[in-house]
Amino acid sequence: MPRACACNDFSRTELFRRAAAQAGQGLPVIEPGMPLPAGTGLTRRRFLARTTGLALAVYGGSRLSSAALDDGIAQAAAGGAADSRVLVSIFLDGGADSISILFPNGDPRYRSLRPKLALPEAAGFAFPEDGRLRWHPSAEALSKLHGEGKLSVFPAIGYTSPDKSHFTSRHYWEVGATDVNVRTGWLGRFIDQTGRPDNPIQGLALDNRLQPSLATARLPVASMDGPDRYSFTANKVSGQVEARMHETLSALGKAHASTGDPALRYAGEVVSQASRLREQAAAFQGGAIKSPVAYPTSQNDFPRRLAGLAALLAAGLPLRCVALTAPGMYDTHANQPDALSQGLKLTSDSLLAFQRDLEARGLADRVLVHVWSEFGRRGKENASDGTDHGAAGIGLLLGTRVAGQMVGEFPGLSNGLDSQGNLKATSDFRGVYSAIMEQWFETDAGAIIPNAGSFARPKILE
């Protein structure tokens, strides 16, 4: 795929000319009347019907409005999206206790460091790659995926000179560098390098906030609470007037595109992007999503968001990087067992359902899921039935294409702890990011991850 906008000084005319050309390339892939992917619950025709007309218009003439051309660009992205690879980044917020999720049952110091928190000998599920370790009882779904060869585990992932601040360490992970001054996310930089100038859902946070890992310098990205919930209604406004009102939203945003005031311009950009996102998501309103598999039922939005994500992918929407936060509170300074079990169970079960959903829809080879947390927790428990901030923690890669092999060993609780009693890292997150760029996205990691050359790359795919 050509790099649609790797440069700033791309003139608007040139942009539109290229967009039209790309829309043309995209058309054969998305002819009206294509069969429905199994179980999507959405008519592909219905989605396409809203946009192919516009794409054809882009292709057609010289007297077109810029709004029509914008739609053409989105359509061009949709055309090429059906076989492009997608990364889903899932954040365990708070610093997940890797020493409980994959607990070192066979480590001689485990029960002395964790006299109250240690899990019973026979609890949980075996971890065949390392007989010392067992999966937490709430991680049965992960154990199952691991058994199927679809889960690669990093038992002690981190970086040298670990920072124990949530915000600093999380920031490092989000920006892909141990540098507090970087303002773009690692996925945002990937989008800036390879994305398109008018497709905000190429980087999509399924969250009510933008995930910082998606923050770009130039190209638009988006967040939305969930794909089945993006409508705009007003009181006593209906029919044609309502349709006009929605068009106006886009015009209101564009009216501020060239103002010198940064806050107004930013607000205008968000309004424009929201308007476009509303159009793209319109096909998903009103419970239109029918998943081919059952997701866990929960008050938490996580399973619903994953179900919606699978439907978006099935409909061929142009997503590249998706980020969301897992359920649960992982900053377990006190009363750890209950808090950890609840979040871990819902997260694991939802991930299993998502994987099965993708498999049923024939999408599984296109999706890689990356699970991370800002750090692990201290080897020794504290006096509040909890654990304090540690260093290395757990990381996971999930998908049908992953190697399914442990990366880096579990360093053990004797020589594997640093001077402060925290796990030493046996793999570096920046090496994993570089491997994702090179092996999954087949792009140059050097342009995305600072000093990429200095980190060892694990083999992450089969």
Which H or E element spans position 460? none
Going by C-alpha positions, the residue among 321, 277, 313 that lies closest to residue 70 is 277
Q: Which of 25, 43, 112, 165 binds other proteins (CB under 8 A)?
A: 165
Three-state DSSP state, 173:
helix
Beta-carbon contacts of residue 122 (< 8 Å; ≥ 6 apart): none
Query: Residue 87 CB, nearest distance to other proteins (Å)?
Result: 20
Residue 73's identity, in one-letter code, is: I
Span near other proteins by CB under 8 A; candidates 8-16, 268-276, 346-354, 442-450 = 268-276
Write the binding mask 388 to 407 for other proteins: x where contact by CB under 8 A, - elsewhere.
Answer: xx------------------
Q: Which of 285, 300, 342, 382 binds other proteins (CB under 8 A)?
A: 382
Estimate to the nearest angstrom the gap between the alpha carbon of 283 and the chain centroid. Answer: 22
CB-based burial label for 261 (10 Å; 0-12, 13-18, 19+): exposed
Look-up of token digits 């419970």: 287
Q: Which of 46, 334, 362, 451 binds other proteins (CB under 8 A)?
A: 334
Write the binding mask 300 to 329 for other proteins: x where contact by CB under 8 A, - elsewhere.
Answer: -----------------------------x
Residue 438's identity, in one-letter code, is: E
* Residues written for the chain: 462
Nearer to other proteins, 334 or 456 (CB): 334
Check binding of 210 to other proteins (CB under 8 A): yes
Query: Residue 229 CB, nearest distance to other proteins (Å)?
Result: 9
Check binding of 68 to other proteins (CB under 8 A): no
Query: Residue 188 CB, nearest distance to other proteins (Å)?
Result: 13
Check binding of 274 to other proteins (CB under 8 A): yes
Alpha carbon distance, N-terminus to C-terminus of the chain:
24
Beta-carbon contacts of residue 316 (< 8 Å; ≥ 6 apart): 30, 44, 47, 78, 81, 82
Check binding of 249 to other proteins (CB under 8 A): yes
- Structure-token pair, residue 387: 């654990």
Distance separating alpha carbons of residues 367 and 403, to the nearest angstrom: 14
Which H or E element spans position 134? strand 134-135
Nearer to other proteins, 243 or 456 (CB): 243
Check binding of 217 to other proteins (CB under 8 A): no
Query: Residue 192 CB, nearest distance to other proteins (Å)?
Result: 17
Binding-site ranges for other proteins (CB under 8 A): 164-168, 180, 200, 205, 207-210, 222-225, 230, 232-242, 244-245, 247-249, 251-256, 259, 261-264, 266-268, 270-271, 273-274, 277, 329, 331, 333-334, 382-384, 388-389, 420
